[in-house]
Structure 1
Amino acid sequence: MARKHIPLKQTQQGAVTLRTLLLVLTGSLLVTLLVAVFITSYGYFRDYVSDQLAGHARDGATAIGLSLSNAIDGRDPVASASLIDAVFDSGRYLSVSYLNHQGEQVAGRAMTLNKVAVPAWFRDLADLPLPVAEAEVVRGWSRLGTVQVISHPGRAYEDLWRITVGLTASTAVIGGIGLFAVFLLLRRTLRPLHALEDQAKALGQRDFRRRVSIKSTREINQVTDAMNRMADDLGQLFEGQAKLIQHLRRVNNEDSVTGLASRSAFDQRLKVEVESEEKAAPGILMLIQLADFSGYNQAYGRSEADRLLLRVATWIGEFVMQHAGSFAGRRTGAEFAIFLPGAMPADAGVWCRQLVTDLDGVYADLASPMDTSVHAGLARTLEGRGARDLMAAADEALRAAQSRAESGCHLADPEKDGHHNLETWRVIISQAIRRQALSLWLQPMVNEGRLMPVYHQVFSRIDSAEGALKAGTFVPMAERFGLISELDRLLVQRVLDCLKQSPDQPLAVSLGNASVASEAFRTDLLDQLRQAGSPARNLWIGISEQAIHHHRTAAGLLVRALGRLGVPVLVDRFGVGGVPFSYLRNLRFQALRIDNSFIHNIDTHEDNRFYLESVVAIAHSRGVKVFATGVETAAEYSVLCKLGIDGAMGYHLGRPFAADNQQTGD
């Protein structure tokens, strides 16, 4: 069963960071300590000024009592009043009273607290006690009365206010500096945790390149070292898996001597290219054979024979690189096959003669003094001609070429002109671009666990006098004429218009190799996607593995730019580009789309099944989906579901239908 996809990014609502928690804790302790110091200091100063008030009142009462007892006759009310007035005016008293034995006031003065220079709320809060100091007034042995004195607390309130303001300011300053220092300390100490968090997110996204180099405490340093070692181990594990898959691909699909496609791999891919209903395209099959290779093998030995085959394969590889979409393989001995999609017989004949001449030179140099020759047979794709018949026609042409001793080429069916010549194709494609005569056909990418398709693959068709032409027919020609970028611009715009009308139906398009390599096209594409807004996030952009191989820098720039826009990107035709699987480590793709040639008869092809199983495992470990194309039987789809494929597409699961009428069609 397919693995359940878990979102890589999960937001934790209400989560508190460790730095915030430690800052709150240490800050609370610091503030509590400062508040405790403030309260203690305030209480101490309050008690101090209260004692000062009580002492001042006692001193005043004692002085007045002695004066009335000795210096002034306390029995004289006038003299007593004069003394009390003098003392009251010269001192800080709230009230001074001289009372007789009956408690009647003989003389006295008093005032209110209205003019104290402190806020009223502070005076109410402080609420200093006002003790009454008393002293006896005597004459000889006779007791005349009592003096009662209350000190004025205004000065005490002012002193206590200044002390309180000073304590508050110092507490705030010290607290602020302390909190800031704690913040800086925690920030510096916990700074590696942010890097560790980013590293953990990167590991969750299967990016093993991020390392943490920030140093902190011993414990945190040990954690960062452990995380770095884990990232290294995971990276090495991924590298090992990637090398294993690459090795499996080479073993199953490449010739061990030349590095070209093996016979079975070439035949299977040729069958898909020629017989697939949607992808079938005009093209030329070329068979090349070195004459008397067995004699060369006997004369020079197996190692030299392998060296010759490798030299020939190198020339053929360079030839294939010059023709977009073409592929080559070694069949048996010194026989090689090349398929050129979209090629016309006249062009293919010129290219073939030049390639035969180059290979004859290589063969002659290594085989001297032996007589050498190289022969080639060419056959074109025709309506109703399958891969087997095409191979038979090319083989017959090769035998005709071998009937002549000298090197040369022979074309099968020379009397048949084919569908269109080059100039006709150029006119058809140019007019379609100019008139925007492009129609869209959709095919669903199905997942057995979902009711709705993962997305719909968009195939373009152009209108001509003979009816609608499929993409497999005209795209190779557009690549050859340098018109693929214009077609892709038109295709993307049409698809974005569809997404605006149906934003909940994801669509996918595949870009041409030349479009990916074109800086102007990449700029225009990104502008189109920005202007489209949120619907663009439902557009899957397919980039072929061959484009990644031949235009690594351009493809990397495009993939990263699309990632910033939130547009998903998939590797199209995965497995046929001959690219090391490790590019997934450096470029962030959301999916792989396995080439048809690996899916065809996968229920009976154990090597391809094991290869695909390995690809699914390593792709899922990186959070990358795996899709399959070309599913034509229930047995193939059953195997894919067991391998955990994320989606499959093919005529067994749904035929292409016109985007405008939602009707199944051809």
Structure 2
Amino acid sequence: MTLRRQLFVVICSIFFIILAGLLLLSISSTKDYLQQQLASHAQDAATSLSYPLAAALAQNDKVLAEVQVASMFDRGYYQKIEVRAADGKVIVDKEMPQQFAGAPQWFVNLLPISVQPGEAFITSGWRQLGKALVLSQPSIAYAHLWHSVLAICGWMLAAFVVALVLTELLLRMILKPLKHIEDATLEISSKRFVQIGVQPKARELNRVVRAMNFMSRRISEAMNAEAARAETYRREAYVDSVTGLDNRRSFDLRFNQLLDATTEFQHGLLITLELDQIKAFNNEFGYGQGNQLLSSVARGAQEVMGDYAAILSRSGGTSFTFLFLDADEDLQIAVTGALQTRVIQSIADNKGADKVSFNVGCTLFRAGETGHHVLARADLAVERARQARRNGLAFVKTDEQEITSAGSHSWRTIIEEALAHNRVGLLLQPVVTLRDGVMVQQEVTSRLIDAQGNPITAAMFMPMALRHQLMPNIDQAVISQALAAMRVGSIAADVSVSLNVTAQSMASGEFRSWLETLLRSIGAEARRLSFEVSEFGYSRDLDACASCAALVRKYGAKFGVDHFGLDPEALKAVRVLTPDFIKLNGNLVREATDSASSREHLRSIIRLAASLDVPVTAQNIESEAVVNMLQVDHVTYGQGYYFGAPTPLP
């Protein structure tokens, strides 16, 4: 129950008790007043009746006495009138049953009115002739008391309702800052250090708000400083100082990651741009002018391709390499044509660069190919462009890349049949603590099995699965099979299980609904599960990742980022949506062993993760030297062939 609701209940209870007490006091006072009025009424009647009765009794005229009593009794305000002689003998006795008209019987039983008789002596001179006794009829008193109670209850109920409304409005106004404090607390717990904009008038709440804002600001500043430091080291290690594009080291790492099928794409387009006669230009105008020309070309390329390209790099002294994923043929033609036009303009804008020319070579590639084969085709395309004409453009394709509609349909059939017959093979690779080698997690990867029993690797089936929107089906099959293995004990019960989920699946509403139903059905077992998304999907579709992260965390599972550290957008994304863990890119880990700048970049990522309280796992560990280096840099967990290769699920 919220604080506002608790205060509301307490205040309402106190107010109700006060009103109930006032109601009881009012009823009691009214009842006492009516009893006094009935007694006074009876006494007045007895006194007024004693004078005419004195004459009748003095004459011993019983009939006259009865007439006098009847004349008063018939008015209906009396329950009983009795006349007694001096010796106590009853002379006249008029009585009417007690009446309760005007009030319900339960009310009469709940609040009985005590009726006191009135008495008056009948005298003649100094001689006592008898005594008159009068008992009032209480029906009028009950009716009056009943209507008084109804009126009082009505007014008090109206007052209670008004008080409730005013109390609710007042509490909302006074405690409104608490809602902002609660929201800010939830944001801070999610590693988003926001500021509370409301300044409450209540001194205590105002102090709480100022303290929270100060704490959030200090932590946020520390996080921003750490993120800026990490970005600085990244730029030093992987950004070309002249053009601001990725350098050759960054391109090689990120390109090899793509080819390892850790990123979800169907096909890629590699564009290589080479400038000719730049050496002569430098000799004539100086290297400063040459760098200005290179920078101008880079800016032009960014303007043309910045919204589409996955990688923009300066891969050599006069060479640029640009990479697109899943670009259709129309986009390829439009982008390459616009690039030609923009580079011609950039060269023309630089004085004396009229002799500088360029050539653009393009080639398609797929996951699973080797990097040097793709780059060799790109070099061939550049050479063909150079031989064709000045500022030329050429494409080089292979039969393997020219996927016909029949081939695409065949792949779809293979994948759907494998799923229909549950031919999904799972492999497990351990994640261990670097300090003592204790296994804490098993990462699950998958492969399909064709009808002949041959394995189909992810690099082979993933592009076609993505094209036909089948990745949600594959991910569902892998998750279901992993849970089945957990139930039968094929996966150790004391370790968590990490499952890879593609960005295509996370963006699917049907997949998220299925996943929520599954997590709800397995109950506490969900706490053993961790779901990983690739760094590429994480930084490119943050909204889908946020929805998926909120979903799995709702049931106690964790959400992490795989192959982290190379994409420049990922460092920004980690502040917006903080994962529960990250796994460092294996290429980055290997690079850090030989490059001081790469290691500083690695350390900056580790420090940023530590400041966000995010555990770090290093991937692709293959030697004890790497383990020692990572321990020095305070990495807690490791994964790689040094600890165990992926093995089929038993």
- Of the three residues 460, 471, 478, the one matched with 1:495 is 478
User: CA 1:644/1:429 → structure 2, altered by over 3 Å: closer, same or farther?
Assistant: farther
What does the per-residue CA deviation read over 1:131-187, in whole Å, with 9 as the maximum and x for residues that have no partner? 233222223332222222222222222222222222222222222222222122222
- Of the three residues 593, 611, 634, the one matched with 2:601 is 611
- Of the three residues 437, 440, 445, the one matched with 1:458 is 445
CA deviation after TM superposition for structure 1 residue 599, in Å: 1.0
Paired residue secondary structure (2:160): helix
CA deviation after TM superposition for structure 1 residue 106, in Å: 2.6
User: CA 1:188/1:566 → structure 2, altered by over 3 Å: closer, same or farther?
Assistant: same
What letter corresponds to residue 636 of structure 1 in structure 2?
A: V
**1:167 — aligned with what?**
152
User: CA 1:600/1:177 → structure 2, altered by over 3 Å: closer, same or farther?
Assistant: same
Paired residue secondary structure (1:579): helix
Q: Does 1:508 align with 2:487?
A: no
- Of the three residues 55, 60, 68, the one matched with 1:75 is 60
Paired residue secondary structure (2:181): helix
**Counterpart mapping for 1:622-661 below 5 A:** 622=612, 624-640=614-630, 643=633, 645=635, 647-658=637-648
Take 2:284 and 2:161, find their aligned partners in 1: how far apart are those partners? 93
**2:523 — aligned with what?**
none
What letter corresponds to residue 445 of structure 2 in structure 1?
A: V
CA deviation after TM superposition for structure 1 residue 296, in Å: 5.0
What letter corresponds to residue 657 of structure 1 in structure 2?
A: T
**Counterpart mapping for 1:310-349 below 5 A:** 310-311=295-296, 328=313, 330=315
TM-score, normalized by length of structure 2? 0.72
**Counterpart mapping for 1:5-404 below 5 A:** 16-70=1-55, 73=58, 75-90=60-75, 92-114=77-99, 116-209=101-194, 211-213=196-198, 220=205, 224=209, 227=212, 231=216, 234-262=219-247, 297=282, 299-311=284-296, 328=313, 330=315, 368=352
Instruction: Provide the alpha-carbon RMSD of the alignment.
Output: 5.5
Task: Judge which range, 532-541 or 28-37, deviates more.
Answer: 532-541
Task: Judge which range, 423-432 or 304-313, deviates more.
Answer: 423-432
CA deviation after TM superposition for structure 1 residue 269, in Å: 6.6
- Of the three residues 434, 453, 466, the one matched with 2:413 is 434
What does the per-residue CA deviation read over 1:289-337, in whole Å, with 9 as the maximum and x for residues that have no partner? 8788676545433422332443465688799989987775556x65778
The answer as to whether partners of 2:99 and 2:138 remain within 8 angstroms in 1 is no
User: CA 1:323/1:654 → structure 2, altered by over 3 Å: closer, same or farther?
Assistant: farther
User: CA 1:575/1:431 → structure 2, altered by over 3 Å: closer, same or farther?
Assistant: same
Paired residue secondary structure (1:653): coil
Take 1:365 and 1:141, find their aligned partners in 2: how far apart are those partners? 142
The answer as to whether partners of 1:75 and 1:144 remain within 8 angstroms in 2 is no
**1:5 — aligned with what?**
none
Paired residue secondary structure (2:81): strand
- Of the three residues 559, 573, 576, the one matched with 1:583 is 573
User: CA 1:624/1:79 → structure 2, altered by over 3 Å: closer, same or farther?
Assistant: same
CA deviation after TM superposition for structure 1 residue 639, in Å: 4.4
User: CA 1:316/1:128 → structure 2, altered by over 3 Å: closer, same or farther?
Assistant: closer
Q: What stretches of structure 1 of length at least 5 have no aligned partner? A: 1-15, 343-350, 410-416
CA deviation after TM superposition for structure 1 residue 204, in Å: 1.3
Task: Judge which range, 73-82 or 49-58, deviates more.
Answer: 73-82
Take 1:241 and 1:470, find their aligned partners in 2: how far apart are those partners? 39
CA deviation after TM superposition for structure 1 residue 463, in Å: 5.8
Take 1:91 and 1:318, find their aligned partners in 2: how far apart are those partners? 106
Take 1:178 and 1:601, find their aligned partners in 2: how far apart are those partners? 71
Task: Judge which range, 249-258 or 218-227, deviates more.
Answer: 218-227
What does the per-residue CA deviation read over 1:198-244, in whole Å, with 9 as the maximum and x for residues that have no partner? 22211211234575459776765665566556555554443333222
CA deviation after TM superposition for structure 1 residue 433, in Å: 3.2
User: CA 1:474/1:427 → structure 2, altered by over 3 Å: closer, same or farther?
Assistant: farther
The answer as to whether partners of 1:599 and 1:629 remain within 8 angstroms in 2 is yes
Paired residue secondary structure (1:65): helix
What letter corresponds to residue 616 of structure 1 in structure 2?
A: I
What letter corresponds to residue 411 of structure 2 in structure 1?
A: A
User: CA 1:194/1:466 → structure 2, altered by over 3 Å: closer, same or farther?
Assistant: closer
Paired residue secondary structure (1:540): strand
User: CA 1:210/1:464 → structure 2, altered by over 3 Å: closer, same or farther?
Assistant: farther
The answer as to whether partners of 2:193 and 2:217 remain within 8 angstroms in 1 is yes
Take 1:58 and 1:277, find their aligned partners in 2: how far apart are those partners? 106
User: CA 1:629/1:534 → structure 2, altered by over 3 Å: closer, same or farther?
Assistant: farther
CA deviation after TM superposition for structure 1 residue 58, in Å: 1.8
Task: Judge which range, 266-275 or 87-96, deviates more.
Answer: 266-275
CA deviation after TM superposition for structure 1 residue 470, in Å: 4.2
Percent sequence identity over aligned pairs = 22
CA deviation after TM superposition for structure 1 residue 357, in Å: 13
Take 1:653 and 1:559, find their aligned partners in 2: how far apart are those partners? 30
**1:556 — aligned with what?**
542
